[in-house]
A = this chain, B = another copy of it.
Amino acid sequence: MALKGKMVIGQSGGPTAVINQSLVGAVLAARGQENITGILGAHHGIAGIMKEDFIDLTTQSVDDLETLAATPAAGLGSVRLKPGKAECERVFEVFKKNDVRYFFYIGGNDSAETAHIIAEMAKEANYDFCTIHIPKTIDNDLRVTDHCPGYASAAKFVALAFMGDDRDNAALAGIKINVVMGRDAGFLTAASALARQDEGDGPHLIYVPERTFDVAQFQSDVKAAMAKYGRCVVAVSEGITNADGQPVMTSGERDSHGNLQLSGSGALGDFLSGKVKEAYAGETVRVRADTFGYLQRSFPSIVSEVDAREARMVGKHAVEHAVATAEPGSVAIRRLSSSPYASECFITPLSTVAREATELKDEYINEAGNDVTQAWVDYAAPLVGDLPKMGKLF
């Protein structure tokens, strides 16, 4: 069945370095489709749709779109809103009113859930309509897909940051703690392991939210690394939790989803610095903590080539699939080979991606819970791509 009508495309959740590649991939694919009679960009996602606040995406030059594709963050504006039934009804009403027949929502599992609810509403109302979720998240925590567009570029930033910071730490020895984004999944923190090129390179310890964080064990791990290397670089996820399941340290504030604010605060890093100083009470030791913060997801020019290509690909695939089949779904990526790296798109039902997220597999975390495994490196390295060689004299 071929649908004819307008399309709406929106972006949701945290920005990434390549989310605009997906937008531009979808828009350029749509411009060639005669069944798509208008291309409306939702200004700030669902929030914009409810207000009928659209940006016409038929008028920009290809050059301008290519500049946008290479720009981080979310060109249409994003939103942190998990819409309830009333909001979804309003969205559906706007779609019907404007003869919108296609809806593409670029985001994570919450966005897939929104797409799913709206797809179900259309079905119930017998409104001919196709909703496609286009995956995006630096957290890499969507189910089904091998990995998520947006992740590899953020992972490249993290790997580069640790490569440089490890050299910095080698030049002025001490203990350095770097807090990496990741509330429930340690994919981004685990990418710090890609910084290692030679024996003794940091990070020397990696803590992910998939394992309970024990302060005493951490203190003892740091002391052991210091004894072995004379210095210590630590990667830690912002979302690490105590044995009771509570975040180790937050700013105390909650976001609009009711989640405790983890990013945009140096609280965890400063807390862990304090714990290390405690462990070295009386001794002089240089302890510093950095929280990478929002730089990880929106730094211009730090982009994985694989990520940029795949982000473009999922946007294009979404439109082509929708026009060809009118079947709702979520675009996912299948890895065909790691060396040389190759992948392809496929469609998975919205229900398989919506709502629940995934996390690091057990085989990617070492037994002590303070590092990753070679299996992890084999998984992540092809996504991030080549990294510069660090020169060393000692």
Task: Show the binding face of A for B, using Cβ within 8 Å.
Answer: 11, 14-15, 17, 20, 41, 43-44, 55, 57, 60, 64-80, 160-161, 163-165, 167-168, 170-172, 176, 251, 263-267, 269-270, 273, 287-295, 297-302, 387-394
- A203 CB to nearest chain B CB (Å): 14
* 5 examples of A-B residue contacts, CB within 8 angstroms: A15-B171, A55-B393, A160-B300, A176-B294, A291-B293
In the complex, what's the smallest C-beta–C-beta distance from A293 to chain B, in angstroms?
A: 3
Bound together, the chains give a CA A193 to CA B359 distance in angstroms of 39
- When distances are taken between beta carbons in the complex, the residues of chain B under 8 Å from A44 are 171
Other-chain contact of A73, B80, B167, B267 (Cβ < 8 Å): B167
Give 10 nearest A-B pairs by CB, closest first. Answer: A266-B266, A264-B288, A68-B391, A290-B293, A73-B167, A67-B391, A164-B298, A74-B171, A168-B298, A71-B391
Q: Given that A73-B168, A393-B68 are contacting pairs, would A290 and B264 also be in contact in the complex, using a CB cutoff of 8 Å?
A: yes
Contact: A77 with B164, CB < 8 Å? no
Contact A290 B294 (CB under 8 A): yes
Tell me whether A75 and B172 are in contact in the complex, defined as CB-CB below 8 angstroms, given that A270-B266, A289-B264 are known contacts. Answer: no
Q: Which residues of B contact A176 (CB under 8 A)?
A: 264, 294
Instruction: For A66, give the chain B residue with the smallest CB separation.
Output: B391
With A300-B160, A394-B77 already in contact, the answer to whether A67 and B389 are too (CB < 8 A) is yes
Query: Do B15 and A172 touch (CB < 8 A)?
Result: yes
When chains A and B are docked, how far (Å) is the Cα of A153 from the Cα of B392? 20
Which residue from B60, B69, B295, B387 sits with its C-beta under 8 Å from A295?
Answer: B295
**Residue picked from A17, A69, A75, most chain B C-beta under 10 Å:** A75
CB-CB under 8 A for A71 and B167, given A267-B270, A270-B267, A273-B265: yes
A264 vs B289: C-alpha distance when bound (angstroms): 5
CA distance A109 to B192 in the complex (A): 34
Which of A67, A69, A164, A251 neighbours the largest number of chain B CB atoms within 10 Å of its CB?
A164
Q: Which residues from B are CB-within-8-Å of A11? A: 171
